[in-house]
Structure 1
Amino acid sequence: MTDAVARLGRRFRTGDWSLRTRVAALAGLLVAIVLILAGGAATTALSTRSELDTLLDSVGPLRTGSDDLMQSLLDQETGMRGYVLRGGAVDLEPYAKGQANQRAITDAMMANPAATATIRQQLAVVTDLADTWRRDVAEPAIALVRDEDATAAQQFLNQRAPRSFDDVRTAVAVLQDSILEIRNNSADAVKGYSTRLVWVLFVAAGVVLLGGIGMVMLLQRLVIRPVSDLAAQVRTVATGDYDLQIGSPGPPELARLARDVDRMRARIATDLAEVETAREVIEATNRRLEAQATELERSNRDLEQFAYVASHDLQEPLRKVASFCQLLQRRYAGQLDERADQYIAFAVNGAQRMQRLINDLLAFSRIGRNTTGFAEVALESVMTEVAAQTEPARTAAKAALTWDPDLPVVLGEERLLVNLLANLVSNSLKFRQPEAPVTVHVSVARVGDEWEVSCADNGIGIEPEFAEKVFVIFQRLHGREAYPGTGIGLAIAKKIVEYHGGRIWVVPSEGTGTTIRFTLPVIGATPAVEPAPVAPDLEETTA
């Protein structure tokens, strides 16, 4: 038993038990002790109650009975003497009643549970002595009085009565002493049980107090101190010491918690290391991007300078070449041979195409640079302007241009939107079916937060494999002899649409005709697209 308790104590101290098990064990021990003490207190209380019941219900009546017994004997002796002295029949009534009372009291005392064998034996002695007194003293004296010899009766009593009744008194006194001893023993037992009950209560209070102190010490040792240590380690880690390994010498629950916190610390440390590595990579990337941005800015300046040269410096000699070639063509046409006239025509045509190409490049580069900011633009007015600009070409091609009624209002630059739709309509007029009337229709439909604008014609169409190539600058699907132009119109249209925050694409079609569709944001549905700040037009700055 001692070895088992020692083993339990070692397991309790070394941490093999969980905190819940330890608290449960200590609480169980306290409950067991309290239950044992409660059982002892209950047993003591029951014993005390039993002794009190005996003292009150048995010993008390027994003691009272002894007094009543003595009184009944005295009544007999007094009644007998009164009869001898006065000779009246009334004087014998106490004598008779005393005998009846004696018998009743004796029977009750004999039936009393507290009456021991000694008490019963002493009661028998008292009864025998009382019977002897009545037989030898009282009855003879009463008989003498009845024989009218009162004097002889008094003399008889004076000789024999005192000694004989003293024996009865002595026997009753012995009986009362025995009863008193029983009463004192019961009282002492009650006092002893009461004292034991008080000590049991004191011990129970001490056990509860010690158990509470032990519980507080247990919580201090197994919970508060390890939690405080763990919190201190966590605070240390929180200050930036992520390499500190967190541990706890407490119960298994706190040890598991410490391991979980340490795994979290390790994960945070790993993540921070990755973040630091990523930050270094980002900083290096930012440095490269800054260098590239600087290089790009320099390259843009060079490109702007080239654009200026191409649009300004080159146009001047090109205009002179074209002018003098045209002069040669007008003045010497027919004066030279046919081959010379052809060469001059080639030179004039090349100079004019070069001028158109430079002008288109200049228009392409100016998109988004010469900006006036976005404003509300009614597409109805845009289409009216487009119709006016394309009227000569439509007349020549015998084309019909129509558009939907109630066109919406969008955010943008009206000049660019006119240029966009004019390019699309011009393309429809250029790439038309031979010997067929041309029809071009512009329609608008809302799709979500965007307006989808469609420009549909009945021209020659675009093959699906070339649907993306047509928006590449200088990309041509047909020879210059068949369809004139620089191949930059749809590239300009794409740049304008993207500048307004939209998309543009060719809708696949199985039959003839082409449908080009682009989107513009709905006002209020999405944030307005503001043009990004760009460098000013170099030609205007340096011209």
Structure 2
Amino acid sequence: MTARTAGWTLRRRVVALLAVVGVLLGASVAVEIAVAAKNRDYTHSVLDRTGPLRAQSQELLSVLVDQETAIRGYALTGDRRDLEPYVQGGEREQQLYRSMRGLIGVYPALARQLDTVEAEAGRWRSTVAEPVIRTTEEQGTTAGRALITEESRQRFDVIRNSVSQLQEGILVEREKGADNIYRTSSMLVLLLVGAALVVAVAGAVLLISLERMVVRPLTGLAEQVREVAKGDFQHRIAGSGPPEFLRLADDVDAMRQKIAKDLAEVREARERIEWVNSQLQKQAEELVRSNRDLEQFAYVASHDLQEPLRKVASFCQLLQRRYAGQLDERADQYIAFAVDGAQRMQRLINDLLAFSRIGRLTTGFTEVDLNEVMGDVAGQTEAARQYADGELTWDALPTIRGEEPLLTNLLANLVSNSIKFRRPDVPPRVHVSARLVGDEWEISCQDNGIGIEPEFADKIFVIFQRLHSKDAYPGTGIGLAIVKKIVEYHGGRVWVDTDTAEGTAIRFTLPALPEDVEAAARAAEQPPAGEATGDEATAGDEPATGEAAGADPVEGGAPVEPADDGGARVEVPRPRGARAEGTDGTQDSDGTKEAVG
């Protein structure tokens, strides 16, 4: 046990104090019980012994007096009726003797005095009363009166004196009992007062002990804690009082040290965060400056660079038309290189400007019907489809929130890519479909083209990334980068489905309208009555094949090469019960919209 925890604990001190108080109160209670028992005995003696004895002694004297009076009356009259009080008094006298002996047994002196009274009464009866009765009966009243002398009166006075002494003894015993009752009652009061004093002293000691051992140490500890709470985390908390409070102070101080350590770490982390924020602020300012420079570059590229580039291209074309065949073959080749380079530079600048404007020049989101968008796309790609003898079909597409020009550019790039990256001697077939997945529409553009290897699936969305030479497939390689940026601007994602068996399938997601999600949820909870089999239930999710228009089925999809003109294509399964709309082409009986080149 350490020095801080040695000594009596608060619990031990309180238990010791309560034990002492309990012993004192227990002893006081035991003495009070004994004194109360004595008091009860004394009260019983006064009420149930000396009181009745006093009354019965008085009655005994009255009975003896009645007997003496009856003897005198009988001696005067000789009438036997005058002896009735004597006879009845004698019987009553014996009853009183028996009753008094039952009560007087605890008083030996009074018992002897009662015996004296009985003996004196018996001698008076044998020497005075009985002779008077016989003489009166035998010789007459004169002879009977002659026996009643001064001596006989003195004998009865002896009885009277004995009864008086008996009464005095009873009175003395009664007074003794009353004194004992008063004494024991006083002792009970003193004991109660003593118990009250013990309780009061114990309470005072307990209060003083609590003040010294609990209140003061806790107050001191609370003041130190408040100092720490004010911010002085280096203030050491020292305890006082019993060992429990010393341990509590140590625990609180340990908590203070941990808080101080954590605060120091937080302070360091905050300083690091402030430094990082300052760096981020600098980077943000640099980014703002870079964006301004980029906007300035876009302005220059769209105006200042375009003008000399157009002039170079125009004069190169004039040279090509005017002097073609007049110079040597190498000069014609140089002029062709210059014209091609100027034209490719113009396409690069235009594509780069289109890529940089996505998300910056906005017209605001509105509800866009993708069926109408596909109609516009079909019109834009009609020439390319006619040239390649291609076919474009689409299922009924949803209405989503977005910017119609950007969505048109998105789908036009995908369709153009599918037409451009076709297989030799195989007419291109492009199909666009959609299906609801959770709270998003998954839209697919699938073709029967050359496809793309899985290891190149992520590279095709990188700006200016090309997988083929410009001689094999012309273009700037920015089309799918524009597609990715438009999809992400609308809150979706785009990827290449590498599991298609033929061609390429590019899929992207767009957030669905809440009413479409709710309608799909209700339809899932209550399937149509005519939906009998699983094949029928999934029929609407399969892409349309375009067979009504004479197109070959489009199965699966393969990776697509980046489009030089921004073209790309995506395929998504058509949602059940969707309506097919469009401005170009015809609508088949199965709901597939077709545009044939």
TM-score by length of 1: 0.87
**Match for 1:235 among 208, 226, 239?**
226
Matched, 1:106 2:97: yes
8 Å CA contact 1:137, 1:160 repeated in 2 = no
Matched, 1:127 2:127: no
2:25 maps to what in 1? 34
Cα shift at 1:419: 1.0
**Match for 2:479 among 470, 475, 489?**
489
2:489 maps to what in 1? 499
Cα shift at 1:253: 4.8
Q: Distance in 2 between matches of 1:338 and 1:297?
A: 51
**Match for 1:267 among 247, 254, 258?**
258
Matched, 1:16 2:39: no
Cα shift at 1:257: 4.4
Cα shift at 1:251: 4.4
Cα shift at 1:460: 0.8
Cα shift at 1:385: 1.2
1:471 maps to what in 2? 461
How many pairs were matched up?
512
Q: Distance in 2 between matches of 1:102 and 1:84?
A: 22
| 1:104-130, Cα deviation, whole Å (9 max, x unpaired) | 222222232545332222222222222
Cα shift at 1:22: 4.3
Match of 1:511, SS state, is: coil
Q: Distance in 2 between matches of 1:497 and 1:317?
A: 34
Matched, 1:61 2:61: no
1:287 maps to what in 2? 278
**Match for 1:346 among 314, 325, 337?**
337
Q: Match of 1:75, as an amino acid?
A: D
Q: Distance in 2 between matches of 1:411 and 1:513?
A: 30
Q: Distance in 2 between matches of 1:264 and 1:514?
A: 65
| 1:276-308, Cα deviation, whole Å (9 max, x unpaired) | 212211222222222233333334444444444
Deviates more, 1:340-349 or 1:385-394: 340-349
Residue correspondence of structure 1 range 103-502 to structure 2 within 5 A? 103-112=94-103, 114-148=105-139, 150-405=141-396, 407-502=397-492
8 Å CA contact 1:58, 1:114 repeated in 2 = no
Cα shift at 1:242: 1.9
Cα shift at 1:28: 4.6
8 Å CA contact 1:15, 1:250 repeated in 2 = no
Q: Distance in 2 between matches of 1:488 and 1:496?
A: 12
Q: Distance in 2 between matches of 1:129 and 1:285?
A: 130
Identity between Structure 1 and Structure 2 (%): 56
Gaps of 5+ in 2: 517-597
Q: Match of 1:168, as an amino acid?
A: I
C-alpha RMSD over aligned residues: 2.6
Q: Distance in 2 between matches of 1:138 and 1:155?
A: 13
TM-score by length of 2: 0.80
| 1:167-209, Cα deviation, whole Å (9 max, x unpaired) | 2222222222222222222121111121112222222333333
Q: Distance in 1 between matches of 2:354 and 2:188?
A: 113
8 Å CA contact 1:66, 1:176 repeated in 2 = yes
Q: Distance in 2 between matches of 1:254 and 1:521?
A: 64
Q: Distance in 1 between matches of 2:212 and 2:400?
A: 75
Q: Distance in 2 between matches of 1:512 and 1:486?
A: 25
Match of 1:147, SS state, is: helix
8 Å CA contact 2:9, 2:244 repeated in 1 = no
Q: Distance in 2 between matches of 1:409 and 1:259?
A: 69
Match of 1:112, SS state, is: helix
1:49 maps to what in 2? 40
Gaps of 5+ in 1: 1-12, 527-543
Q: Provide closer, same or farther for how the CA distance between residues 14 and 164 of structure 1 changes in structure 2, counting only shifts above 3 A.
A: farther
Q: Match of 2:169, as an amino acid?
A: S
Deviates more, 1:191-200 or 1:227-236: 227-236
8 Å CA contact 1:62, 1:114 repeated in 2 = no
Q: Match of 1:225, as an amino acid?
A: R
Matched, 1:509 2:524: no
1:92 maps to what in 2? 83
Cα shift at 1:103: 2.1
Structure having the larger proportion of residues in helix: 1
| 1:60-108, Cα deviation, whole Å (9 max, x unpaired) | 2222222222222212211111122222222222222222222222222
Cα shift at 1:227: 3.3
Cα shift at 1:268: 2.7
Cα shift at 1:489: 0.8
Cα shift at 1:369: 2.2
Q: Distance in 2 between matches of 1:347 and 1:167?
A: 177
8 Å CA contact 1:440, 1:456 repeated in 2 = yes
Q: Distance in 2 between matches of 1:440 and 1:291?
A: 48
